[in-house]
Structure 1
Amino acid sequence: MRINGELGAGIGWSAATLLTGKGLPVAHQEAVLEERAVSIVLNGQAYAVMMVTPEHLDDFFMGFLWSEAIIHDPEEIITWEWVTENGAWAVYLQLTAAAAERAQHKRRQVLGGSACGLCGTPLLAGLIPFAPLESSFCCSPVSIRTLMLQMQEQQALNHSTGTAHAAILGYRRDYLVREDIGRHNAVDKGIGAAIQQGLMPGEVNVLGISSRLSFEIVLKAIGFGIPVIAAISGVSSLAIELAESHGVTLIGYARDDRMTLYAHSERIQKDWMPALSPLCD
């Protein structure tokens, strides 16, 4: 397999054989989504090893540390450096004393896969370090549909490989999209990108995802003050419970001119009203 060597490339090429019922096997080179081990080292101590698509990696660790409640302000990251060897990546970060102490209390125990949001967390107690949200934001169903369509249009990695998850963050009548092999990673990248663009908790109104919606993704949204989450696929029971208790509007099956509201539906207008922009506020 041949992999692009640039940081942030995200796509490699593999020899493949196509079999169909229409003729002989066809050998060709096929685009595949990269998955690499990324070690996160905080103040000289290994914190976690995550399986990530190596694109927008600065966004990833920024959003990951925020979602872990290790940093409360981007200024708590003093400096960082990326190192790569034999196809694996490591980021060495220097944190302030307060952030380093939080990390020490939350240190993970095992490798976290690309499909894993809370793998390796030592204790299940205290998994929700964020307060319930209070937000007066509301929008129409068609604005949610528009945002989800924009996410699909912007999925460059998925268009090339058919393998990437995506997250879209809607804010100030604008949006940003990030992709990854892992749905949790895509959300972390989105939050990290928002932070690096100067957005702070409560300034992003909607999170859309291209996958199912689980507890961990609701938790990440709460941590960044996002009051509405929409998923193309279904939602889990624990996601609904967390959304209900923490003031988050939860939407599943947001596709094909339909959606299902599971929690705090008061933020969504009940008639399918037209909107002039992706977000109505």
Structure 2
Amino acid sequence: MDRVDKAEILKVGERAPEIKPDLIAVEEPLEIRIGFGAEQQREQRSISVTMRTPGHDFELALGFLFTENIILSYDEVVSIRYCQGTGKQAEKENVVRVELSPSVQIDFKKIERHFYTSSSCGVCSKTSIDAVKTGCPVISSALKIDENVIHQAPDILRAEQRVFEYTGGLHAAGLFNKQGELMIMREDVGRHNALDKLVGTALVKQMIPLSDYFVLVSGRASFELVQKSLMAGVPLMAAVGAPSSLAVALATDFNMTLLGFVRNQSFNVYCGRERLAYENKN
């Protein structure tokens, strides 16, 4: 399924309005279903519908299940596939089923989140902020990052945003090592989807916990993005935009370093300043 679509637009500007071709980011719903239970008594349940940019759908589903504390490792996944029997051609690659090991126990009463989310906000339907924190580890990583590595990261991430280059309409999440090398990059119309795709990829690669890496997101740092990064063991999260008050509080509570406004050779450190090495500029 394509991630970019064509559109015909009326361009209005300094010159006379003119009709021109344009490229736009594709947005489609993805339903995530899980198969669970004993081998002879398998059940299926739909747990999420999210609006996403097609691509890396399996990683998105895996990252979502992991950051929501439904699975603890990739070893708990038996298989993952698109559902073919949905009855509608349009749904052919928009429904994913993740088969979980019979050993995985799921208490749906403890999953307090209503999983039907939009691409712009995934945490609004939480019934309790405390429920979001359940399962988040306290970060103990001794990672230390040179400030110049942080300064360079936005340009490196931006250079790899292929779909954004065409459409200007996608968020990105990048995983960097302490030398500033980009290890994984994912794009999506939803900022939390981009991060779930990144975490799902790291899960498959057996990289989690991500104790020796930092994450950069192209937009603002929301409470949910910090929570997802904490679940993956990320010690430092940087954002091109601003963090929210809840994001700062959560990062502080769980010993994560949180940076905001990472752009133009500058950034703000909201908590966890001990993980940064600064130049002596006196």
Instruction: Report whether the alignment pairs 1:141 with 2:166.
Output: no
Aligned residue for 2:269, secondary structure, equals strand
Q: Which runs of 4+ in 1 moved over 6 A?
A: none
* Contact 2:76 2:100 survives alignment (8 Å): yes
Instruction: Report whether the alignment pairs 1:15 with 2:8.
Output: yes
- Pick the aligned partner of 1:114 from 98, 110, 119: 119
1:6-85 residue pairs with structure 2 within 5 A? 6=1, 9-23=2-16, 25-43=17-35, 44-83=44-83, 85=88
Instruction: Report whether the alignment pairs 1:158 with 2:164.
Output: yes
Cα distance per residue 1:235-260 (max 9 Å; x no partner): 11111111111010010011001000
Residue matched to 1:126: 131
Aligned amino acid, residue 140 of structure 1: D
2:123 and 2:104 mapped to 1: Cα distance?
19
Give the TM-score normalised by the residue count of structure 1.
0.88
* 203 and 227 in structure 1: CA distance in 2 versus 1, 3 angstrom threshold: closer
**RMSD of the alignment, in Å?**
2.0
* 104 and 98 in structure 1: CA distance in 2 versus 1, 3 angstrom threshold: farther
Aligned residue for 2:132, secondary structure, equals coil
2:55 and 2:280 mapped to 1: Cα distance?
37
* Contact 1:130 1:222 survives alignment (8 Å): yes
* 179 and 76 in structure 1: CA distance in 2 versus 1, 3 angstrom threshold: same
Aligned residue for 2:221, secondary structure, equals coil
2:123 and 2:100 mapped to 1: Cα distance?
22
* 267 and 98 in structure 1: CA distance in 2 versus 1, 3 angstrom threshold: same
* 224 and 54 in structure 1: CA distance in 2 versus 1, 3 angstrom threshold: same
2:103 and 2:136 mapped to 1: Cα distance?
17
* 122 and 80 in structure 1: CA distance in 2 versus 1, 3 angstrom threshold: farther
Cα distance per residue 1:189-240 (max 9 Å; x no partner): 1111112223121345100000000111111111011100110011111111
User: What percentage of aligned pairs have identical amino acids?
Assistant: 26
1:104 and 1:261 mapped to 2: Cα distance?
38
How many residue pairs get matched? Answer: 265
Aligned amino acid, residue 247 of structure 1: N
Give the TM-score normalised by the residue count of structure 2.
0.87
- Pick the aligned partner of 2:90 from 87, 92, 115: 87
2:230 and 2:126 mapped to 1: Cα distance?
18
* Contact 2:176 2:184 survives alignment (8 Å): yes
Structure 1 residue 18: Cα displacement? 1.1
Residue matched to 1:279: none
1:182 and 1:113 mapped to 2: Cα distance?
8
Aligned amino acid, residue 15 of structure 2: K
In structure 2, the gaps of 5 or more residues are 36-43
* 215 and 257 in structure 1: CA distance in 2 versus 1, 3 angstrom threshold: same
1:156 and 1:69 mapped to 2: Cα distance?
31
Residue matched to 1:277: none
Cα distance per residue 1:69-102 (max 9 Å; x no partner): 1111112111122137453411112112454515
Q: Which moved more, 1:58-67 or 1:95-104?
A: 95-104
Cα distance per residue 1:115-160 (max 9 Å; x no partner): 1222444544321121211011001111012222211110111110
Structure 1 residue 16: Cα displacement? 1.4
Aligned amino acid, residue 22 of structure 2: E
